[in-house]
Structure formats: structure tokens, C-alpha cells
Amino acid sequence: MGARDAAGRRRAENTPAHVSRDLTTTESLRLLAGVRFGRIVYSRYALPTIRPVNHLVDGETIIVHAERAAGLAPERQVVAYEADTLDEDTRRGWCVIVTGTSDRVTDPAEIDRYRGQLCAWLPGPRDHFVRIEPDIITGIEFVDPDDPRLA
């Protein structure tokens, strides 16, 4: 029967089913703002630690609703944040990684605002907010080879 693209058109057997394209910072932040769950990566006892957390995008910063017991230091430290949407069946989707400095949110007005915007749905108490100021924002999207954005 042969390979077919997303529109159902016949594709040559040696044509890849999907390709990747780099995302701009604007595209990356837009996609990140469209999901509420990701993974924060930080150092704990000099070892990398990864935790699932809820987030929201506030301008170009990422606000994470974290539990104090997770071990994320309250003082500034370099962290990475990753979120994605990948479909195993179609092999389409995207991944965004933000690398920057984290700092605990302490302003009561900001805490109230974020608490109203960000509902914790992960188990366990989420008792503080962390702001990630990005230094590097990278993203990649997995698309059909005939996607017009590749031109």
C-alpha cells in the first residue's frame, strides 16, 4: 500500500515520516504557555534531580508551583525546565527546554496572583512558587516533511 503523509497522499518509501524544526523563542514560550505541567531539573547534593511540577508562563519567565520538601534551594541557582507534548502514534509533537536562574517568589501580591492562576494538580503540598528567569530558551518540533513551515 505504501507510506502516506498526514493528508493521505502517497509518499516514497525512503521519505522520512517526520522531521524536526527548531522553534523560535516566541514559538517556544507560546507552546510552553499552552501546557501546565513540566519537569524542573536542579542540583541536589551535587547531583541532578528532576521533579514534575505545575507551571505558568508570565511574560518571559516561568513560574513553578513547587513543594518545599523537593529540595529546590530557596536561593538563586541554575535550573533547567522542560515541557513537551509528544504523540507516540504519529510521532509528532514538540519539546521546549528553558535554562536559567531560579529564585523563590516572596512578594505576597505575586504569590496571591500566582495562587489564583495556577492550580496544583500534582499530589503533595505545593507551598511555594519559584520564578525561572531564562538565559536560554530552545525548542524543537517534530512535523510532517511536507509541513509548509519547513520552507
Q: Are 48 and 79 in contact (CB under 8 A)?
A: no
Q: What is the pLDDT of residue 15?
A: 54
Where in the sequence is the domain holding 63, given as residue range(s)? 19-150
- How many Å apart are CA 56 and CA 77, to the nearest integer? 19
**How many domains does the structure of the chain reveal?**
1
Element (H, E) at 127: none
Q: Which of 19-33, 110-124, 127-141 has the lowest mean pLDDT?
A: 110-124
In a domain, 96, yes or no: yes
Element (H, E) at 1: none
In a domain, 8, yes or no: no
Model confidence at 14: pLDDT above 60: no
Mean pLDDT, to the nearest integer, of 121-144?
84
Q: Are 62 and 96 in contact (CB under 8 A)?
A: no
CB < 8 Å & 24+ apart, contacts of 14-17: 15/145, 16/145, 17/91, 17/145
In a domain, 7, yes or no: no
pLDDT, tens digit (0-9, with 9 covering 90-100), for 28-64: 999 999 998 999 999 888 889 998 889 999 999 999 9
Q: What is the pLDDT of residue 108?
A: 93
CATH number of the domain within which 99 lies: 2.30.110.10
In a domain, 78, yes or no: yes
Mean pLDDT, to the nearest integer, of 130-148?
89
Q: What is the pLDDT of residue 76?
A: 84
Q: What is the pLDDT of residue 128?
A: 82
Paired with 78 in beta bridges are 101
Model confidence at 7: pLDDT above 90: no
Mean pLDDT, to the nearest integer, of 122-128?
66
**DSSP secondary structure letter of residue 36:** S
Number of residues that make up the chain = 151
pLDDT, tens digit (0-9, with 9 covering 90-100), for 62-82: 999 877 655 666 678 899 999
Mean pLDDT, to the nearest integer, of 113-123?
78
Range list of H helices, the chain: 25-33, 108-117
